Amino acid sequence: MKKRLLLCSLFSVFLAGLLSVQGISHSGTDNEIVKARMASMKVIAANMKSLSKVSRGRDPFDLTEVKDMLAKIESSAAETPILFEVNATDSTSEAASEIWENFQDFKDKAFALESTAKALISTVASADDAAVAVQSLGSKCKSCHSKYRN
């Protein structure tokens, strides 16, 4: 349990840093396609942050709200491949060119996030389950970000 709380805390610090950097780096984006991508990623990040707070007891566990968070992550993950079909760039974008060089792998990673979130919607029942969800979803985010994000 202590290890799980430590991992959730570390992930939360990572996520908070991610959100603060996104807020700075995404201002001034002119490309509408890139803006749509960034907006979708912000939905995932915001819901991961909220889910992390629930998993650590900072926010109360409400099953309906947690399932809603997971559904938003699932939905945004499902639209990710569509949003990245066009190789559009912007100086504020953090998307690596490797996305389009390995697009099938990128799509597979988005699908893994989507399917994990979908499965968690039907299995999450407690704050402890929310902690497991944060870890599971976080590993999916990391697998894509480590390869496809500058």
What average pLDDT does the segment 33-39 reach?
96
- Whole-angstrom distance, CA of residue 46 vs CA of residue 42: 6
Nearest to 99, CA basis, from 90, 113, 86: 86
**Which CATH topology does 2-148 take?**
Four Helix Bundle (Hemerythrin (Met), subunit A) (1.20.120)
Query: pLDDT for 7-31, tens place per residue?
Result: 444 444 444 444 444 444 456 888 9
pTM of the model: 0.82
CB 9 within 8 A of CB 42: no
Q: Where are the domains of the chain?
A: 2-148
Q: How many helices (H) and strands (E) does the chain have?
A: 6, 0
